[in-house]
Amino acid sequence: MSTFVTKSGVSLYFKDWGEGQPIVFSHGWPLSADAWDAQMLYFGERGYRVIAHDRRGNGRSEQTWDGNTMDVYADDLAELIEHLDLRDMIMVGHSTGGGEVARYIGRHGSKRVAKAVLVSAVPPIMLKSESNPYGTPIEALDGIRSGVAGNRSQFYLDLTGPFFGYNRPGAKDSIGIRQSFWMQGMMGSVKSQYDTVKQFSETDFHADLAKMDIPTLVMQGDDDQIVPFAASGELTAKLVKGAQLKVYKGFPHGMPVSEAETINKDLLAFIQS
């Protein structure tokens, strides 16, 4: 098992497969690097070096009590990137991982980055306010915290419905995808996952997006029930200079998993463009 110890002494698990131009994947909440399996296999088979880590407190990485903040997540990722000496890399972040990618560039710059992709990502800011009327109300976020702190196991099973759009009429349900989500969620630290709710919802990424000076693709489904499109992808594409926006009719928040065939082809087209 590949692990890396940060300067603060935290052990992080990561996958590093293949050779070629590196693609670095940052996973969403409350998941792990395994959420990118479909992309890791697809791009690895096409001559890319694919890297994905379990964020601290998630998956097989160390479960820390402190340090569950977006700044620390970005700094952990920066240390891993430097440890592997990755250059000319493509950064791909889903949901909370999209915030991690933006914060990495905001704090560490883009000298090692060739392109970036934000998929169903939380920037510029998820929390509803007077200046962000289409965001998520604090009451809904408090409900997520209550679910994590309460019967976390049942909460994660229930969350797979809106996460993958299985609660929509006519949706083709997948028990396997639901179970994989549940397993990844339950592998993580309840403390980290509880803390991260505030991080993915209340972190303001406007300054980070302004520093994204590399070609950027923003991808999101218009039926995202977790991160509202009008408060995220639609705004992010306007805030990142020269960003491309690709909107998927009827696709859910978890589209990199449930709609992997479509997403992979579009990712490849952008990377090769």
Q: Where are the domains of the chain?
A: 3-272
First and final C-alpha spacing in the chain:
34
Distance CA 230, CA 218 (A): 13
Which pLDDT score is estimated for 217?
A: 98
Predicted confidence (pLDDT) per residue in 74-127, tens digit: 999 999 999 999 999 999 999 999 999 999 999 999 999 999 999 999 999 999
pLDDT value at residue 7: 96
Question: Which listed residue (34, 75, 253, 258) is catalytic?
Answer: 253
Q: Is the peptide bond before 124 cis (omega within 30 degrees of 0)?
A: yes
Nearest in space to 111 (alpha carbons), one of 206, 241, 244, 214? 214
Determine the 3-state secondary structure of 244 from DSSP.
strand
Q: Using CB atoms within 10 A of its CB, is residue 125 exposed (0-12), middle (13-18) or buried (19+)? A: buried
Identify residue 198 by its one-letter amino acid code. Answer: K
Q: What is the pLDDT of residues 116-174, one digit of tens each?
A: 999 999 999 999 999 999 999 999 999 999 999 999 999 999 999 999 999 999 999 99
Pairwise CA distance, residues 183 & 168, whole Å: 23
In which element (H, E) is residue 23 found? Answer: strand 22-26
pLDDT of 165:
98
Tell me the percentage of the chain whose pLDDT exceeds 70.
100
What's the pTM? 0.98
pLDDT tens digits, one per residue of 6-26: 999 999 999 999 999 999 999
pLDDT score for 208 = 98
Taking domain 3-272, whether its CATH number is 3.30.360.10 is answered by no
Question: What is the C-alpha separation between 127 and 180, in angstroms, rounded?
Answer: 28
Would residue 253 show up in a list of annotated catalytic residues for this protein? yes
Contact 29, 54 (CB under 8 A): no
Chain mean pLDDT for the chain: 98
Catalytic residue among 54, 75, 208, 224: 224
206 counts as catalytic: no
Here the tokens at position 253 are: 């928040």
Q: Which of 95, 120, 192, 232 is catalytic?
A: 95
- pLDDT at residue 1 tops 80: no
Using pLDDT thresholds of 50, 70 and 90, give the confidence band for residue 69.
very high
* Rg (the chain; Cα; Å): 17
Mark whether 95 is an active-site residue: yes
Mean pLDDT, residues 178-197 taken together: 98
User: 77: helix, coil or strand?
Assistant: helix
